[in-house]
Amino acid sequence: SWAPNGLFMAFHWRVTETGTYDIYVMEIATGRIIQLTHDARRNENPVWSPDGRHLVFESSRTGPKQIWTMLADGTIPKQLTFVGRIWGPSWSN
């Protein structure tokens, strides 16, 4: 997912040894990659907020997949949904 300013790209990456997925951001100009999530579950499909301040993503960190949000630097994760299995987050303007 491209950041609204076009300077960053967010993506998930599978760690082969553990089978977990974490979310990363790449700075396009330098190629520098920053890991945003660090847990033993699946964190996938990050999408930037329209203002570029947050990412919404799916995570199984508390059980079945739910929708979460966090600041674009990976801090302040917050679970938004609490029912069933939910995936495919997106933002509206």
Q: How far is CA 83 from CA 51, 64, 66, 70, 86, in A?
A: 27, 9, 8, 19, 7
pLDDT tens digits, residue range 81-91?
999 888 889 88
d(C-alpha 43, C-alpha 36), whole Å: 10
pLDDT tens digits, residue range 56-70?
999 999 999 999 999
CB 66 within 8 A of CB 80: yes
Query: Would you state the structure tokens that stand for residue 53, as one six-digit string?
Result: 């301040």
Q: Where are the domains of the chain?
A: 8-79
pLDDT tens digits, residue range 1-21?
999 999 999 999 998 788 889
pTM: 0.91
The mean pLDDT of 70-78, rounded to a whole number, is 97
pLDDT at 76: 97
